[in-house]
Amino acid sequence: MRVRFAPSPTGYLHVGGARTALFNYLVARKAGGTFILRSDDTDAERSEDTYRDDIYAGMAWLGLDWDEGVERGGPHGDYRQSSRFDRYRDVAEQLVADGKAYYSLATNEALDAFRKAAQQEGRPPAYDGSLEPPADEAARRVELGEAAPIRFRVPRPGSTEFVDVVRGDMEFDHVQIEDFVILRSNGSPTYHLASTVDDVDYEITHVIRGEDLLSSTPKHILITQAMGAESATYAHLSLLMGPDGKKLSKRHGDTALRAYRDAGIVPEAMVNYLALLGWSPGDEDTVIDLDSMVERFDIGAVSRNPAVFDPQKLEWLNGIYIREMSEHEFVAAVLPLVEDDLGRQLNDAERSQFDELAPLVQERAKRLTEIAPQVRFVFGEFGYDETSWDKVMKGDDAPLAVEKALDRLTGLERWDTEHIEAALRLMLEENELSARKGLQPLRVAIAGSSVSPPLFESMAVLGRERTLERLQAAAARL
Ligand code: GLU
């Protein structure tokens, strides 16, 4: 079994593309086959190194290693379509020599008129070659240097049938398929030609790709047959939709994989979530790692219905993965983000403070990027979040709570979580304050925000001196 993922480096790796890559990877790994990464970079103008690098980085981040292809090499050169224009031209010319394709001399105006007339008469508008001059005249004009694209001669009448692994029996009547261009007049191949020649040359056995390419498949099968080769098996994956049931687009939020990495999604959660877009491990399991997916994946069980990409569900799953991390893994993942946020490295004393805080924030986090803002109050410059201040400190009980907390905490014999908690619970009781009314103001006072790690632990980590200073500052501001 040989499968390929064939992105065009004309944009950042899309989450839908990442799912296609994953499903190809799973199929190959399960069968002990070969997973190939090919670069469909025929469009020199729109292809960029930034995008190419982003695709490799995204695959590496997800842990989808490929066996053959770009960067890795293999028996078929560098696996870039931009290196293979000669090969595509040779195939196109061979098809012309075999009578299966032709240099097309019909003008654009004539083609437009043809399509318009067909529409008016209720005929299918697919161009059938009827505007071409006789073969000997065409040959003479091309010989004399007239620029002409090469079109594939679609056999008529006829139809192309195949069984799609996901979508079942497919049939395309050739009446609907025009004599499509395979080589442009400037000598560059179209997607149909380049993709098919590569699939044939690289001996691809299973083409697994997005449903947007379904209508291209009969064309690819026709070219494959004309080349005298055997067609691959095809599987077309349903497109992704937003939670509102419309095609996934920027309107729904980020569609580039990198945005999720940058937003603190861990790769294991991303891979897990991508797998669930159209597939299910069967029983109640939603949380499944890459190795178990390889064991259990079945491309034939993938749904043909559109899959909903729901960032909230992804976030929920991400929270599960974050809590599953060991303390050490969590600190390793988050510390660089915290230091980046502060613009400096933590010193040794701060590192141990951070190690104390880490498990407290790990418990609640849904994204790795939530952590840095939550620990800024210990390591960064202190300031109030004014929304939190207005919401919490303008209540009647805030001045009382802050003042009484100061009384209880000043002179506390031991500064640790347990003693701080006991002192503040006593303060609540003495002043008949609920935990919400009595403790939220203290949180805003010491953390600057109503969102922080748990209060007593935060005070313990912050230390006696800084905690009292901040309570005094808040009392003054109140
Ligand atoms: N390069 C095509 C794309 O980016 C996919 C080609 C294919 O899978 O056949 O959409």
pLDDT confidence band for 285 (50 / 70 / 90): confident
Using CB distances shorter than 6 Å, the residues near ligand 1 are 6-8, 40, 195, 209, 213
What is residue 203's DSSP assignment?
Answer: T
- Rounded to the nearest whole angstrom, what is the distance from the C-alpha of residue 8 to the centroid of ligand 1? 7
pLDDT confidence band for 395 (50 / 70 / 90): confident
Query: Would you list the domain boundaries of the chain?
Result: 1-70+238-320, 84-237, 327-477
- Of all protein residues, the one whose alpha carbon is nearest to atom 3 of ligand 1 is 7
Amino acid 166: pLDDT: 97
Residue 283 pLDDT > 90, yes or no? no
- Rounded to the nearest whole angstrom, what is the distance from the C-alpha of residue 208 to the centroid of ligand 1? 10
What is the number of other CB atoms lying within 10 angstroms of the CB of residue 349? 8
Question: Which one of 3.20.20.140, 3.40.50.620, 3.60.15.10, 3.40.50.1000 gives the CATH number of domain 84-237?
Answer: 3.40.50.620
- Rounded to the nearest whole angstrom, what is the distance from the C-alpha of residue 398 to the centroid of ligand 1? 61
- Rounded to the nearest whole angstrom, what is the distance from the C-alpha of residue 377 to the centroid of ligand 1? 48
Q: Give the CATH number of domain 1-70+238-320.
A: 3.40.50.620
For 30-60, the DSSP string reads HHT-EEEE-B----TTT--HHHHHHHHHHHH
- Distance, C-alpha 355 to centroid of its chain: 32
User: What's the average model confidence in pLDDT over 191-203?
Assistant: 98
What does the pLDDT look like over 31-63, one tens digit per residue?
Answer: 999 999 999 999 999 999 999 999 999 999 999
- Of all protein residues, the one whose alpha carbon is nearest to atom 7 of ligand 1 is 6
Residue 284 pLDDT > 90, yes or no? no
With residues binned 3-state (H G I as helix, E B as strand, rest as coil), the percentages for the chain, rounded to 5, are 55, 10, 35
What's the rounded Cα separation, in Å, for the pair 251 and 427?
A: 50
- Of all protein residues, the one whose alpha carbon is nearest to atom 6 of ligand 1 is 6
- Collapsing DSSP states into helix, strand and coil, what is residue 81? helix
Locate tokens 């529409």: which residue?
Answer: 119
pLDDT confidence band for 402 (50 / 70 / 90): very high
Architecture of the 327-477 domain: Orthogonal Bundle (1.10)
Please give the number of the atom of ligand 1 that sits closest to the Cα of 5: 8
What does the pLDDT look like over 208-226, one tens digit per residue?
Answer: 999 999 999 999 999 999 9
- Rounded to the nearest whole angstrom, what is the distance from the C-alpha of residue 310 to the centroid of ligand 1? 24
What's the rounded Cα separation, in Å, for the pair 229 and 327?
A: 55
Residue 393 pLDDT > 90, yes or no? yes
- The answer to whether the 84-237 and 327-477 domains have the same CATH topology is no
What does the pLDDT look like over 291-322, one tens digit per residue?
Answer: 999 999 999 999 999 999 999 999 999 999 99
Write phi, then psi, for 319 (nearest 5 degrees): -60, -40
Q: Quick check: 105 and 138 in contact, CB under 8 A?
A: yes
Mutate-to-test residue for ligand 1 from 19, 27, 46, 195, highest number of ligand atoms within 8 A of CB = 195
pLDDT cut 90: percent of the chain above it: 97
Please give the number of the atom of ligand 1 that sits closest to the Cα of 7: 4
pLDDT confidence band for 290 (50 / 70 / 90): very high
User: What's the average model confidence in pLDDT over 331-349?
Assistant: 97
User: What region, left, alpha or beta, does residue 285 occupy, with left being phi > 0 and alpha being psi -120 to 50 degrees?
Assistant: beta
User: What's the average model confidence in pLDDT over 378-387?
Assistant: 96
Mutate-to-test residue for ligand 1 from 24, 39, 193, 209, highest number of ligand atoms within 8 A of CB = 209
What value, to the nearest 5°, has the Cα angle with vertex 411 and ends 408 and 415?
A: 90
Mutate-to-test residue for ligand 1 from 5, 8, 237, highest number of ligand atoms within 8 A of CB = 8
- Of all protein residues, the one whose alpha carbon is nearest to atom 2 of ligand 1 is 7
- Of all protein residues, the one whose alpha carbon is nearest to atom 10 of ligand 1 is 7
Please give the number of the atom of ligand 1 that sits closest to the Cα of 4: 8
Per-chain mean pLDDT for the chain: 96
Note the maximum CA span of the chain: 105
Residue 203 pLDDT > 80, yes or no? yes
- Rounded to the nearest whole angstrom, what is the distance from the C-alpha of residue 295 to the centroid of ligand 1? 27
* Catalytic positions, written as ranges: 250
pLDDT confidence band for 324 (50 / 70 / 90): very high
